[in-house]
Structure 1
């Protein structure tokens, strides 16, 4: 029995000595992940503390032996510790998969800087008029271009497009489009200031007439001027006056 124990101890000590004396060789490998940013990942041999970093395609070369632990670490990946086996050194396509770290934002604060805008940044010249889409179409259709056909007449000439647009009726159509666009803009502003409940319960406008009342008030130049100033108190006061007149119109129509 003692002889068997001695033999086991000899075999165990022999393996320990062989493992300690085993030379480390260069291990070539590559990391893979769900990203193309594979450069700069630290690969550390935990036994020898030797360290290398991966190349742009994720490749690395480090001295190691079977039984060593390689630690893969980077700010964008979860740490991965790999125990090397003899098979890893004979594998010509030795790869280690790394998982991306997902950072969860606890809070997002959006600050408004009133002094930073397109004019302050020099993107739009100061004082330049801002056109809506309909206004831009109208401006393009009616603007005279004194440089038009400059190569065909001495001193240049004025483009005839505005005249053609005028006689074809396109200019009138575009003016109507601008007017409709402005009214729709006023109505959106009105609906942002006052709820449907305000029209029905406070102004006593029947529900089926609310939309008609909105069209009615935005036709009033005095009201739209006050509405555009975004003074809610003045807007509400005039809105009440117009509501009285509108209900009178409804009453006459329903007789």
Structure 2
């Protein structure tokens, strides 16, 4: 009987101790799909801390029941009680709300409406352009437009403006999915993951769903696009 008890303790006691040890947790802090950098993350139970990198990623040791506190002047403070089931596809995603900056009281008089439109500098309701789009407009206007039409600079700038939009969309995809998640969920080989991301940002319906923050539709479209992409890879071999 004693031998069985010793055997039980010998086998299960190390397992019990291992379960109580803190494991390294990989995580990412996001707000509206964008990573939040330089954010302090405190394991209040273990009295340890770390900070997020420029992409919102972090690593901290934790075990079931540990209280994690997220703090920064940039966000509303958030606390979570860690459990392993919070991990999805090997990563702990924590969504936070950006803090509203309280401004000092400003008194605005009716005759002080000094907007560009009120001053007559631009027409009412004029479309606002990105930096790349403004370069395209300048390149097609007046004498510059004639010269640039000959040199092909306008065409280059239009491509730059389009690339700017697609780069922004690719950043959103990178914040939502890791390469490992794309490989596992959409069955994309590791060496073709970046190519798949380039492929899906070209799809107008997918871009529209992402812009509308319709993640359900975006994921549905990604599944169809993954099938198309894999078929193209197969046909190209």
Question: Which protein is bigger by CA-based radius of gyration?
Answer: 1
Higher relative CO (Cα under 8 Å, sequence separation at least 6) belongs to 2
